[in-house]
Amino acid sequence: MRLFLDTANIGHIRHGVELGIISGVTTNPSLVSKEGKVNYQKLVKEICSIVPGPVSTEVLSQDAHGMIAEAREIAKWAGNIVVKIPANLEGVKATSVLCKENIKVNFTLCFSLNQALLGAAAGAAFISPFVGRLDDIGEDGMKVVVDIVQFLDYYQLPAQVIAASIRHTQHCIMAAKAGAHIATVPYKVLLQMIQHPLTDIGVKRFIQDWEKVMGDQKVIGSMKNNRLVGS
Ligand code: G3P
């Protein structure tokens, strides 16, 4: 499962990319608004220049005609742009047209297998089930991810599932087990994924044990001809 960052924050995106583990970014109008009143095009272009993979950015139009017009413009901004289109009837119509023009679509705000079926039929490259928002209303968000993954696999369809609306690290584990191609995670969750108290305790103990015997001898300082002195 690949990891995308679900944010429009440049600092967080740079950090994720520096770590070498982030291969894409997803944004939406709410996430962009969190960054203040920015120049949208400039921000998206900057994100696209940092990220070594797909960058999803959303249209605001409500009708297919407007969505298509917006998507055509947005698609010119960078080679790695993916246009987010909502999983409603107008969105299906727009997705069908855009995919025939080789504009990559992320079929977003997807909450059911039926919506995913139509998105895949229209040619969407990515389908984004929103796990957390389904959990919020007492449904099993991850079950929808499992169902969509199985459906795409069964019919050998090329669309990739992006597990979205990820709220915590358990969601990441469950998305990986469900076979999601991608999980798009908030920066905070990404940082939490690596944390384990036993790792921190282990590192501390290794250093204490070393220092008890070796004093302040450093590994690099004690290297000669690529060999540890005394090894
Ligand atoms: O990837 C979709 C995501 O941005 C929505 O997350 O937490 O607003 O449901 P959330």
pLDDT tens by residue, 194-217: 999 999 999 999 999 999 999 888
Dihedral angle of Cα 71, 73, 78, 82, to the nearest 10 degrees: 0
How much distance in Å is there from the Cα of 73 to the middle of ligand 1? Answer: 24
- Closest protein CA for atom 4 of ligand 1: 165
Task: Calculate the alpha carbon distances from 60 to 30, 47, 63, 85, 101 in Å.
Answer: 11, 19, 9, 9, 20
- Overall average pLDDT of the 129-148 stretch: 98
Nearest to 32 by CA among 40, 21, 22: 40
- Closest protein CA for atom 3 of ligand 1: 165
Of 7, 25, 27, 28, the one to substitute when testing ligand 1's pocket (max ligand atoms within 8 A of C-beta) is 28
| pLDDT bucket at 230, cuts 50 / 70 / 90 | low
Task: Calculate the alpha carbon distances from 56 to 48, 89, 128, 219 in Å.
Answer: 9, 20, 11, 44
- Annotated active-site residue 84? The verdict is yes
- Closest protein CA for atom 7 of ligand 1: 165
- Overall average pLDDT of the 8-21 stretch: 97
Say which DSSP state 164 is in: B
